[in-house]
Chains A and B, each alone.
Chain A
């Protein structure tokens, strides 16, 4: 039920981002979604890719600080109030969202949302109870 997200440490300096994209390109890894958390001195790049384990090794090989994080991916219908329903399913159970980001799936009428929470199991149960569709890794990697 969980999706593997790559988290990469990037210093705020020109050219850092391209080092990462170059490694991914060289290893024929496709990016499905990304988001960046930035602070004044550094950023954390979060990536969903088609081959997370391979990407992890390739990035490590190139001396990049990277780790794998388990995140939840959900699908929500592209209608008004879709996201609200999902978020309420979590907040009603007192679950905090550390961070989240979303992208549209060109092949369906739904949006995919990546969620990072403290307790994945509890969050999945709450989402399922709220009627939210939880995505499997194949759904994401194979887009």
Chain B
């Protein structure tokens, strides 16, 4: 069986069935929000919305958006729709950009989240026979426990290694014969590099697939991880506000992630006007947790920029696909009217085999936006000949032009002069006075 569906009845459902499920769930959710959450009660009243106005999923756009700040303003439990005795779990976001946001789950919420993760593991080829090696951190962060419960739900064997202690991770690969690795893509790459440095031939390891998420990664990074660990690398998407990892997941196509839209209904909107955009158009991803009990967020603004596709997928799933997020509304640049994301520049550099250490400098000269990309020269790209270096510069420039659709001036700078990618590296310098 090629498509490896955990729940084929819904993953491959026809559109009519799916819309019916979504509509029923939305109607009931809106009612619960209005009755149980004072925040939504007040908001709906202000907008003159009565729960009975919402009759199907097509009425979704009548509802207001929910923002991360709404979760912060009602910290910690203000948006919960259930009393404490119904909660069975609480997770929280890291809170790097301010106060933490706290999310709660009922027994049913954990079940649907586990279903979602089980779908993701199955789509990556996982079965009951497999050892799922969870190297995400366990704790308030949703990564570890989320994948863990999904693996168990599938009937596979969860291996709760948690993050860190790289040597032990590799020892477990060898001794326990882990089949599927789940962690962040950067840690996967690090594990692969460490194997290489230790002289371990990853072709000898039984490990055959990896499910990586919780941070942005490029196609170049995927190729790198697949080569280093000799596996197939699958993307998984999620955020704690909606559930955690598993909100969307890649299938054998490795081209876009199927959204568990029977639980988490996605929309793409214009982040300025709030208008819903059609298939294929890039915009901000918004989710409505139509099935959740504890934290049924309405049209939650993820700030992630991507597009949706309802095109038929060769895996047989009919669940809508979201393309890999191109960036976030907070780091998107508009240069000469074109949207530019730092991740696109990273993509070009890794594709050319260079380190993704760069700085984007935007300026406005005579009413014309200028884009300069500073790239660190590395030992393996350096040459004593100006001709060779100029050729490298023009190669980067032409690749950037192809990817960004606007011209960029490439400036090579000395190594280690740009901030490293650890922590919050500053990647953009916008000198325009608008």
Partners in one complex: yes
Enumerate chain B residues within 8 angstroms of A67, measured Cβ to Cβ. 379, 382-384
Interface of chain B residues 378 through 434 with chain A (CB within 8 A): 378-379, 382-387, 389-390, 411-417
Which residues of B have CB within 8 Å of A99? 385
Interface digits, A47-89 against B, CB 8 Å rule (1 contact, 0 not)? Answer: 0000000000000100111110100000000000000000000
Q: How large is the interface on B (under 10, 10 to 19, 20 to 34, 35 or more residues)?
A: 10 to 19
Nearest CB in chain A to that of B379: its residue: A65
Distance of A10 Cα from B379 Cα, bound (Å) = 13
Q: Within the assembled complex, what's the spacing in Å between the Cα atoms of A64 and B386?
A: 17
User: Which label, helix, strand, loop or mixed, suits the secondary structure of the B interface?
Assistant: loop
Chain B nearest CB, measured from A73 CB (Å):
15
**B135 part of interface (Cβ distance < 8 Å):** no
Question: Are A9 and B386 in contact, with the CB atoms below 8 A?
Answer: no
Majority SS of interface residues in chain A? strand
Measured between C-beta atoms, what is the minimum distance from B354 to chain A in Å? Answer: 13
A69–B384 touching, CB < 8 Å: yes
A39 within 8 A of B: yes
Residues of B near A63 (CB, < 8 A) are: 415-416
A64 contacts which chain B residues (CB < 8 A)? 414
Given contacts A65-B378, A65-B379, contact A10 B414 (CB under 8 A): yes
Write the residues of chain B forming the contact surface with A, with a CB cutoff of 8 angstroms.
Answer: 377-379, 382-387, 389-390, 411-417
- 28 A-B pairs with CB atoms under 8 Å apart are A7-B384, A9-B377, A9-B382, A9-B412, A10-B414, A11-B413, A16-B414, A39-B386, A41-B412, A42-B389, A42-B412, A42-B413, A44-B384, A44-B385, A44-B386, A46-B384, A60-B379, A63-B415, A63-B416, A64-B414, A65-B377, A65-B378, A65-B414, A67-B383, A67-B384, A98-B385, A98-B387, A116-B384
Q: What is A's interface to B at a CB cutoff of 8 Å?
A: 5, 7, 9-11, 16, 37, 39, 41-42, 44, 46, 60, 63-67, 69, 98-99, 116
